[in-house]
Amino acid sequence: MSPSSPYTESETIATRIDRVFRELNRAIKFDHPSISLAVYRSEFVREEVEAALRRRLQDLAQDTDRVFINEQNHDLPLYLRERADRAKTVFFVSGIRFGGGDDGQNAYRALNIRREYFVDYKLRLVLWLTEEEERLLPRYAPDFWAFRHLVVTFLDEPGPEQIRKNVSQVPWQDWDNKTFGQDTNAKIAYRERLLAELPHTPETTANRAKLLYTLAPLYAATTQLAQAITSCEQAFDLAHQIGDIKLQSWCQNVLGNVYRDNGRYPEAIDAY
């Protein structure tokens, strides 16, 4: 399986999306496996690419599903083999860095050891990689690396319109337990990544407030008390700006819980 050559800077994002779709289309038509590696920086760009692929794959009667690797579920080949719907599903996979062990080596090792599953079970997937994950993949999973069919790079920085269009679609709320299970550090890292990308504009204030609100108990669970308090207070201030009374009350409850759980009872009472 020889990989495709890397894209040139002259290619538009639409052209690169088309390259991934053509690879998947051929694999579906001839009932072959397909492993496309997509290197990216922005969760918003990733969402745009996945949405475009999802629409086109629906025309081929193919379902799509997001799969997130984490420490508890690091064995991607075994997981996909057990999926009863694998013949009619293209999997969008990410999170290899959360796969447990140093640098997520458990996940890389599973890819390498069970690489034949991708061929034997005709699995079709787009594996999203950060630039660091791309660097580590041939080192920790060289045999799997050799199995790749396509490498496409989506290192584009999202523009304001891309963020506005996709901010509500990035699935940080819906798939949280499915994604990371009890991997609290992974939940924190993902939210911090999204926050770093969000511009400070009125259009993103509500999402920023909700991200900060959900970060507070995660910080507290990892004994990062100062970060938990700061995150909750920032979320409250943003909720106040946009007039979200419900979120303000949630923030007060979480802040009170953080203080109470750390024995700071007078501050907890004030927060409640």
- Does any domain span residue 60? yes
| pLDDT single digits (tens) 193-244 | 888 888 888 878 888 898 898 888 888 888 888 999 999 999 999 999 999 9
For residue 179, the model assigns a pLDDT of 44
| Domain-located, residue 237 | yes
**Predicted TM-score of the model (pTM):** 0.76
Shared domain for 52 and 132, answered yes or no, is yes
What pLDDT score does 166 carry?
A: 60
Residue 239: predicted pLDDT:
93
The CATH number given to whatever domain includes residue 145 is 3.40.50.300
Final residue of a structural domain among 105, 137, 164: 164
Half-sphere exposure of 271 (CA within 13 A, CB side): 21
Q: Are residues 214 and 159 in the same domain?
A: no
> Could you tell me the residue range of the domain that residue 216 belongs to?
200-271
The answer to whether residues 28 and 111 belong to one domain is yes
pLDDT at 232: 92
How far apart CA 128 and CA 130 sit, in angstroms, is 7
Q: How many domains does the chain have?
A: 2
Chain Cα centroid distance, residue 26: 26
Q: What is the predicted pLDDT for the residue at 168?
A: 58
From 146, 164, 182, the end of a domain falls on 164
Q: Strand pairing partners for 94?
A: 68
Q: Are residues 143 and 206 in the same domain?
A: no
Backbone φ, ψ for residue 67 (5° rounding): -125, 130
Separation of alpha carbons 215 and 228, rounded Å: 7
Question: What is the reported pLDDT for 9?
Answer: 55
Any domain includes 266: yes
**Residues of the chain scoring pLDDT < 50:** 1-2, 7-8, 171-172, 174-181
Q: What CATH number should be reported for the domain holding residue 256?
A: 1.25.40.10
